[in-house]
Amino acid sequence: MGLRNFFDRVEPHFERGGKYEKYFPLYEMVESFLYTPKTVTTAAPHARSYIDMKRIMTYVVMATIPCILMGMYNIGFQVNTAIETLGATGWRVWVLETTGIGFNAANPMVNILHGALYFLPIYITTLVAGGIFEVIFATIRRHEVNEGFLVTSMLYALIMPPDAPLWQVALGIIFGVVIGKEVFGGTGKNFLNPALTGRAFLYFAYPQEMSGDTIWTPVDGFSGATSLAIAASDGYQEIVARGTTWMDSFLGFVQGSIGETSTLACFIGLAFLLTTRIANWRMIAGCLGGMIAFSTLLNLIGSDTNPMFAMPWYWHLVVGGYAFGLVFMVTEPVSGSHTNMGRFIYGALIGFMVVMIRVINPAFPEGMMLAILFGNVFAPLIDHFVVQANIRRRARRHV
């Protein structure tokens, strides 16, 4: 009660006419983070629902917890395994040696703690750098700091390489917040996914730090290609030949970005989002259908020169960032389609595009990031044609 009374006592100073009114977005951000917003609808009609924006964003962040835990475990496992063979130096090694934690890759808790030393600096940098620009734009425009940034910051951190330079992490999230969202008016008005916009900027601006075989396990002298890179050069059968089974890929014991490697962790989050009705199942079904249909077609066509034609859909599902993008990016409501039929088409377009990029375009072995951004661009057009088709169909009924 003491903290609540404190907020009630200082609130007039931040409201219009108060001496700190220009800092109201900062006050509102802290107050609404700790307590349920007091603003309510004052005029009819009323839509009664237990869901508000804060609860939606909280649910999405909760859905990422399995990916966070598995991501930290996998980073620690990969790094500890490499250290046992090659050795390593750096402040993280000093921390683990000083605290007596060590580098035992067979100990799950050691792996998680070691992985946290990579994930937490990236997430904290993302939160601080992006949060500053969120507050700046909210202050200038005199509106509240939207809770959507909590989701953006978490998703952005989970799609970063584990040893990404922190200054690049900060630059990417600033680009995503400003160019991907705020220049269009802020949360709810952006047509691109801000987290993917920032990641795409870094991918093209600093390809050496964002792609290649040496960035996924940050140990000097270690090189480990992702499963997609192996499949693109030698075929998906070579993934198994090098000791990585489909189940390893499904569980997440592979090279990759922090939170994208475990399909199982992503599906646990998906089950939670579908149960709470935060994610729209039509987008999921469309994306899965588009991916399965097009990859199966390419399997039937075949190619003597491109080994990716032979990769079946169930391998596309578990390699790269497909599962993470399917669960947390495709279902993002602002930048996706808003009509029911449009959601099927939007999802199918992304599923089709990710396979096309992975298989047909040898320059981009991943594909999911670009496919989703491509879908974002076409989402308004898809909804337009769906609405127009509905209008024409209803007009025919009255002729």
Residue 263: its H or E element = helix 263-275
pLDDT score at 280: 93
pLDDT score at 43: 46
Three-state DSSP class for 136?
A: helix
Q: At what angle do helices 108-141 and 24-34 cross, to 10 degrees?
A: 140
How many degrees, rounded to 5, is the angle at CA 165 between CA 163 and CA 170? 120
pLDDT score at 1: 58
Segment 304-309 long-range contacts (CB within 8 Å, at least 24 positions apart): 306/359, 306/362, 307/231, 307/232, 307/233, 307/234, 307/235, 307/236, 308/231, 308/232, 308/235, 308/236, 308/358, 308/359, 309/359
Task: Give the rounded distance of the alpha carbon of 140 from its chain centre.
Answer: 28
Closest CA relative to residue 324, chosen from 273, 363, 282, 376 = 273
Q: Where are the alpha helices (DSSP H) in 40-103?
A: 53-63, 65-86, 91-99
User: Which amino acid would we find at residue 151?
Assistant: V
CA distance 163 to 209: 9
Structure pTM?
A: 0.87
Q: How many CA atoms lie within 13 A of 316 on its CB side?
A: 31
Task: For residue 15, give both structure tokens.
Answer: 């409201």
Three-state DSSP class for 146?
A: coil
Give yes or no for a contact between 180 and 47, defined as CB atoms under 8 angstroms apart: no
- Return the residue matching tokens 């399909």: 263
pLDDT score at 38: 59
User: Which amino acid would we find at residue 348?
Assistant: A
Task: Give the rounded distance of the alpha carbon of 375 from its chain centre.
Answer: 15
What are residue 331's phi and psi, to 5 degrees? -85, 0
Contacts of residue 390, defined as CB under 8 A and 6 or more positions apart, other chains included, come to none
User: End-to-end CA distance of the chain, in Å?
Assistant: 65
Give, for all 399 residues of the chain, the pLDDT tens digit: 576 676 666 677 666 767 666 666 666 656 665 555 555 554 444 445 555 566 777 889 999 999 999 999 999 999 888 887 777 667 787 787 788 787 788 888 989 999 999 999 999 999 999 989 888 888 887 776 677 788 999 999 999 999 899 999 999 999 999 998 888 877 777 889 999 999 999 999 998 888 888 888 877 777 788 889 899 888 899 999 988 999 999 999 999 999 999 999 999 999 999 999 999 999 999 999 999 999 999 999 999 899 999 999 999 999 999 999 999 999 988 889 999 999 999 999 999 999 999 999 867 778 899 999 999 999 999 999 999 999 998 888 876
185 secondary structure, DSSP code: T
pLDDT score at 46: 45
Give yes or no for a contact between 353 and 375, defined as CB atoms under 8 angstroms apart: yes
User: Which amino acid would we find at residue 316?
Assistant: H
Contacts of residue 330, defined as CB under 8 A and 6 or more positions apart, other chains included, come to 283, 284, 287, 336, 346, 347, 350, 372, 375
CA distance 179 to 182: 6
Contacts of residue 100, defined as CB under 8 A and 6 or more positions apart, other chains included, come to none
Give yes or no for a contact between 340 and 387, defined as CB atoms under 8 angstroms apart: no
